[in-house]
Amino acid sequence: MLQQFGIRAAAALLVIWGACTLVFLLIHLVPGDPVEAMLGETARAADREAMRAALGLDAPLWRQYLDYLDGLIRLDLGESLREQRPVTRILAERLPATLLLAVASLTLAMLIAVPLGVVAARFHGQALDGLAMGFSLLGIAIPNFWLGPLLILVFSLWLGWTPVSGMEQPLSLVLPALTLGTGLAAVLARMVRNAVLEVLAEDYVRTARAKGLSEQAVLRRHALRNAWLPVFTLLGLQLGALLGGAVITETVFAWPGIGSLLVEAIQSRDFPLVQGSVLLIAALYVLINMLTDLAYAYVDPRVRLD
């Protein structure tokens, strides 16, 4: 187990380094000057050059890259060009909002997907199966950037039940979580249905039925319990994506998380903040996936990570 953890950790570090390198190169290729964004177009050339030298942006690209890697080794992500504060402090302030949204969305998705998938599998080929999978297909097809404004229009502007944006009130969490949770529930419901159907075709399920167990008992004690492994893997992948920051949803609802922070940093050409945000997203995603792999092997001893 320790050997597998070491292999996974080394692979995770390699992936994170690749993501950081790619983002560093891309952010320097994007049109726009962070100094001009800070000082404005009317600033004098001398002031721009002085600001560029003070921020280290006048150095060659390879030197800036080496300085960036040196800071990563020392766990120093630098200071935000826009806010003049350490990037780590800004990320620490924004991360709890993303964690809250991710947990709420995943919980909502599970509450919808598990009963929906089990009902679809129980009544396979019947009307309930078609309705459940129709809802699932609809949830997959509707993009977040369309569903979010639609929910704001209905529940915030027409009905006045929830705030439009932000997270100042407890009800502010409802619409963002609903936007993310419904799409995730659609994917999970199809996975639960397929996993349960596969288990229901096993010999031990037919034996349980032959012993006289009710269909509810077969589903609860045999099918659903053994169908959790593929669902568990998908949950890990989706949780990693949610913790990485749902950029579109956070932007639509002005949710102060990592996703909206990344968009703001890109718009202001804040290089250190962009790199720090992407590093955090990559690290969270890789960490969740690594833990999912290890947990999967622990839950099912037949799985070998090598």
pLDDT tens over the chain, length 306 residues = 566 667 777 777 888 888 888 888 887 777 666 666 666 666 677 767 776 776 667 777 788 888 888 888 887 788 887 788 888 899 999 999 988 998 899 889 889 888 888 888 888 878 887 888 888 888 778 888 888 889 999 988 888 888 888 888 888 889 999 988 888 888 888 888 888 887 777 777 777 777 777 777 777 666 777 777 777 777 777 777 777 657 888 888 888 888 888 888 888 778 888 888 888 888 888 888 777 777 766 666 665 544
What is the per-residue pLDDT for 47? 65
What is the per-residue pLDDT for 216? 73
What is the per-residue pLDDT for 139? 79
What is the per-residue pLDDT for 90? 92
Distance separating alpha carbons of residues 67 and 249, to the nearest angstrom:
34
What is the per-residue pLDDT for 223? 72
What is the per-residue pLDDT for 81? 78
Tokens 């992500």 belong to residue:
77
What is the per-residue pLDDT for 185? 86
Kindly give, in sequence order, each residue whose CB lies less than 8 Å from that of residue 132, ignoring residues fewer than 6 positions away.
116, 117, 119, 120, 189, 193
Distance separating alpha carbons of residues 216 and 123, to the nearest angstrom:
12
Our measurement of the distance from residue 115's CA atom to the centroid of its chain's CA atoms, rounded to an integer in Å, reads 23
Tokens 């998705």 belong to residue:
109
What is the per-residue pLDDT for 186? 84
Q: What is the third-level CATH fold of 87-299?
A: MetI-like fold (1.10.3720)
65: left (phi over 0), alpha (psi -120 to 50) or beta: alpha
DSSP 173: G
